[in-house]
Amino acid sequence: MQKEKFSYDNTIVRNFAIATMVWGLVGMLVGVIIATQLFEPAMNLGNRFTTFGRIRPLHTNAVIFAFVGNAIFMGVYYSLQRLLKTRMFSDTLSKIHFWGWQLIIVAAAITLPLGITTSKEYAELEWPIDIAITIIWVVFGWNMIGTIFKRREKHMYVAIWFYLATFLTVALLHVVNSFELPVTFLKSYSWYAGVQDALVQWWYGHNAVAFFLTTPFLGLMYYFMPKMANRPIYSYKLSILHFWSLIFLYIWAGPHHLLYSSLPDWAQTLGVAFSIMLIAPSWGGMLNGLLTLRGAWDKVRDDARLKFMVVGLTAYGMSTFEGPMLSLKNVNAIAHFTDWIVAHVHVGALGWNGFLTFGILYYLIPKLYKTKLHSKKLVSTHFWLGTLGIIFYAVPMYISGATQGLMWKQFTLEGFLKYPSFLSTTLQIIPMHMLRALGGLIYLVGAIIMVVNLYKTMKAGSLVRNEEAEAFPMVKEDPKMVTSGYWHRWIEKRPTQFILLSFIAVTIGGAVEFLPTFLVESNVKTIESVKPYTPLELEGRDIYIREGCNNCHSQLVRPFRSETVRYGDYTKAGEHVYDHPFLWGSKRTGPDLSRGGVKNGVMYKSASWHYDHMMAPGDISTGSIMPSYGWLFDDDIDDSNLEGKINAMRTLGVPYPKGYEKIARQDLEKQALKIQKELIADGKPVEAKKEILAVIAYLHKLGRDINVEETK
């Protein structure tokens, strides 16, 4: 048999590498900016586009989908071709994939600061962009699976299994979580409401971490670690077990984000049990990677790229140990809503995703450009800066999280909250927020050094666009293997079956989680006193979403005395049946707002208080880190789509009477006028129909209905 000649496409790998670097710097820079906003509100820059609530999603989307996303594609396009001994299935698809993805990122970078958002974490992009993501993702999968079918290497290395699972699961997650009803070109409402929306969202959110930040990177680790160490993975067998148990367990662990919420108990328990079990495969994977270096630790000493890999894997081990711990109810009780969670994700993001990406970039760029790294010393500098950055980031945030979490819970001997003022707990952690921003900055400086170093490397060499290679065409049957290993041959000869199998695996996981909540209607008890939002409140809610208030404020009171005393009655699922989307939030940078409308409650504030506070939070609450929202006083409520919004809500099951959309505007104006009069009577001048009126109406709606007798 004759060897066939072909070439690997390196241009596409290089393009994704450049995108990784560029978006990485952008995403990290935005991260540093929002970090400073949390101790210096002036860094909100006094305009609507750069307030924390709007650009925090920009940061998360940029680092997850732009930085890490491009890094995944870079690594996949490089390793897949080589592992399968073939060029990518189609150069055109590769190009569409690359440019499509970059366009999506640009669209995100434009829409998010404009306040065009669905508010669902890590899925903030509006429906047209969601559709674009789906299309481009399918292009990626098509290209990948096409490549698998035209491969010259019969055996599929474990990295490819991880890539396939990534493709399938992310597709499923994205589509299910993005079910939304468009109102206009750039506004939609989530198909699901309240508890169901929360359940779907955190099934998505959790598995996005699993299948976007973990599985593809494990695939990359299984390829690049052996390459850099120049020895095979420690145990290939372990990697198989690792793969199957990881994808199966992860998919069930989602509900641990909703402990103590009004999510049914059984789902919470399920989430915790599977989260704990997850430690096993995660650590198996980490050890498998680290042990690959056994007997070669001297290499690590001399090669900063391997240092990145080792610290990255260790960070993976740390965060996958911490994750299950955080899902224990008593740990969760303290850590949830605090900076602890932020620390946790950053150990993963900066350590695992960041460091692995850096290691791979340092490995790939010289190879693609057929040259040597510009400076090995700078790689080492980068490594130490990066490590220092992670420490300066994580340690203060752990302290901050524990401090605030405990302060929220402390009672005096007389039985009063020791720190009844939320703000006092915020002020306590300001120094930690400063250190954290410093940590982020150090990490960013390290990344800048890398980009300069790699840029100079590229300049010194020249890109090998098409790398010549040769391999035997795939043989039909390898006689050595015929007698044994039946299962293995069965699976690897059938990529389609394999794909189907893993697809079934993840779907079962999802189905087991949702079906009960979706099928059993009594699951969410309706509370009859809960009324749909009035048109003004609905507009107010949309402004709340636009401004991203949910990035700082929760709307979920957990059933602890420390919370019910501080905020009011704990949250019932039935309160949220009209909430498309839910707005429970995941982080309490500010206090919970879900009882802001309970007139005799602790959280109630008058309209004129809100007026002053929204205008200049720092004047009312000295030292507040909430941004000022001056434009809410200048801009008119945009009710041009009110009919559409009412109709959409009705389609989603909100019981607005027939024909209500025709008179909704009248109601809106009436209610606005009432609040306007109230404000003017208190000496707060405001023109009719200003947005602030809608926001106040909404804040006063929160929890109001539940205050009336609740029906069980």
What distance, in Å, lies between the first and last C-alpha atoms of the chain? 76
Rounded to a whole number of angstroms, the minimum distance from the CB of residue 256 to other proteins is 14
| Residue, CB closest to ligand HEC | 590
When the beta carbons of 595 and 689 are compared against other proteins, the nearer one is 595
The interface region with other proteins, picked from 91-99, 167-175, 510-518, 613-621 by CB under 8 A, is: 510-518
Residue 702, amino acid: L
Radius of gyration for the alpha carbons in the chain, expressed in angstroms and rounded: 26
The Cα–Cα gap between 155 and 693 comes to 65
Among 265, 298, 414, 709, binds other proteins (CB under 8 A): 265
Residue 589 is a binding residue for ligand HEC (CB under 6 A): yes
Q: Tokens at residue 692, please?
A: 């602030």
Query: Which residues share a beta bridge with 417?
Result: 411
By CB under 6 A, the residues from 406 to 435 that bind ligand HEC are 422-423, 426
577 Cβ contact list (under 8 Å, min separation 6): 193, 194, 524, 526, 527, 530
Q: Is 703 in the site for other proteins (CB under 8 A)?
A: no
Contacts with other proteins: how many residues (CB under 8 A)?
69
Q: Out of other proteins, ligand HEC, none, which partner does residue 90 contact, by CB within 5 to 8 A per kind? A: none
In angstroms, the Cα distances linking 214 to 4, 152, 234, 320, 352 are 35, 28, 19, 10, 9
Q: Is 600 in the site for other proteins (CB under 8 A)?
A: no
Q: Is 372 in the site for other proteins (CB under 8 A)?
A: yes
Residue among 553, 566, 572, 704 that touches ligand HEC (CB under 6 A): 553
Which entry of other proteins, ligand HEC, none binds 480, CB below 5 to 8 A by partner kind? other proteins
**Integer Cα distance of 145 and 494 in angstroms:** 12
Q: Based on CB atoms, which residue is closest to other proteins, 599 or 712?
A: 712
Binding test (CB under 8 A) with other proteins, winner from 25, 45, 96, 241:
241
Among 16, 23, 39, 52, binds ligand HEC (CB under 6 A): 52
Residue 348 CB, nearest approach to other proteins (Å) = 24
The residue from 605, 650, 665, 674 that contacts ligand HEC (CB under 6 A) is 605
Which one, 512 or 681, has the nearer CB to other proteins? 512
Scanning the structure block, which residue is given the tokens 């995703």? Answer: 353
Nearer to other proteins, 133 or 168 (CB): 168
Does 625 participate in binding ligand HEC (rule CB under 6 A)?
yes
Quick one: 68 or 263, whose CB is closer to other proteins? 263
**Residue 615: burial class (beta carbons within 10 Å; 0-12, 13-18, 19+):** middle
Binding part of the chain for other proteins, among 349-357, 568-576, 608-616, 634-642 by CB under 8 A, reads: 568-576
DSSP string, 593-651: -TTTT-TTSTT---HHHHHHHHH-HHHHSTT--PPP-GGGGTSBP--TTHHHHHHHHHH
Residue with tokens 């992009």: 125
Segment contacting ligand HEC (CB under 6 A): 333-341, 399-407, 437-445, 545-553? 545-553
Using the rule CB under 6 A, which residue among 15, 36, 534, 624 binds ligand HEC? 624
CB of 602 to ligand HEC, least distance (A): 8
What sign results for the dihedral spanned by CA atoms 318, 320, 326, 329? Answer: negative
Contact letters for other proteins, residues 347-366 (x by CB under 8 A): -------------------x
Which tokens belong to 496? 């389609």
The answer to whether 390 touches 337, Cβ cutoff 8 Å, is no
Task: Indicate which of ligand HEC, other proteins, none lies near residue 547 (CB less than 5 to 8 Å, by partner kind).
Answer: ligand HEC
The residue within the footprint of ligand HEC, chosen from 30, 313, 361, 626 (CB under 6 A), is 626
Q: Give buried/exposed letters for 426-453 (b at 16+ CB in 10 A, else e).
A: bbebeebbbbbbbbbbbbbbbbbbbbeb
* Cβ-based nearer residue to ligand HEC, 356 or 695: 695
Rounded to whole angstroms, the Cα distance separating 39 from 440 reads 14
Angle between helices 215-229 and 355-368 (to 10 degrees): 50
Please state, in angstroms and rounded to a whole number, the distance separating the CA atoms of residues 553 and 103: 31
* Closest CB 362 distance from other proteins, rounded Å: 12
Spatial separation of the C-alpha atoms in residues 85 and 148, rounded to whole Å: 10
Asked if residues 562 and 408 have their Cβ atoms less than 8 Å apart, the reply is yes
- Taking the complex as a whole, the smallest distance from the CB of residue 554 to other proteins amounts, in Å, to 17
Rounded to the nearest 5 percent, the helix, strand and coil shares of the chain are: 65, 5, 30
Give yes or no for residue 629 binding ligand HEC (CB under 6 A): yes
| 77 interacts with other proteins by CB under 8 A | no
Among the listed ranges 223-231, 374-382, 446-454, 688-696, the one in contact with other proteins (CB under 8 A) is 223-231
* Contact flag: residue 205 with other proteins (CB under 8 A): no
Considering only 110, 131, 474, 508, the residue that binds other proteins (CB under 8 A) is 508
Is the Cβ–Cβ distance between 315 and 352 less than 8 Å? yes
Asked if 141 and 118 touch (Cβ cutoff 8 Å), the reply is no
Nearest CA among 160, 163, 256 for reference residue 216: 163
Indicate which of ligand HEC, other proteins, none lies near residue 699 (CB less than 5 to 8 Å, by partner kind). Answer: ligand HEC
Write the CA distances from 66 to 70, 110, 224, integer angstroms. 6, 14, 21
Per CB under 6 A, the segment of 5-13, 208-216, 511-519, 543-551 that binds ligand HEC is: 543-551
CA dist 652 and 515 (Å) reads 19
Q: Which one of 95, 227, 605, 650 is in contact with other proteins (CB under 8 A)?
A: 227
Q: Is 167 in the site for ligand HEC (CB under 6 A)?
A: no
Smallest separation, CB 649 to other proteins (Å): 23
Residue 416 or 486: which CB sits closer to other proteins?
486
Nearer to ligand HEC, 255 or 627 (CB): 627
3-class DSSP state of 337: strand
Does 549 bind ligand HEC (CB under 6 A)? Our answer is yes
**Binds ligand HEC (CB under 6 A): choice among 405, 585, 590, 597:** 590
338 counts as binding ligand HEC under rule CB under 6 A: no
CA distance 409 to 411: 7
Binding site for ligand HEC (CB under 6 A): 52-53, 422-423, 426, 544, 547, 549, 551-553, 589-591, 593, 596, 603, 605, 610, 613, 617, 621, 624-627, 629, 695, 699
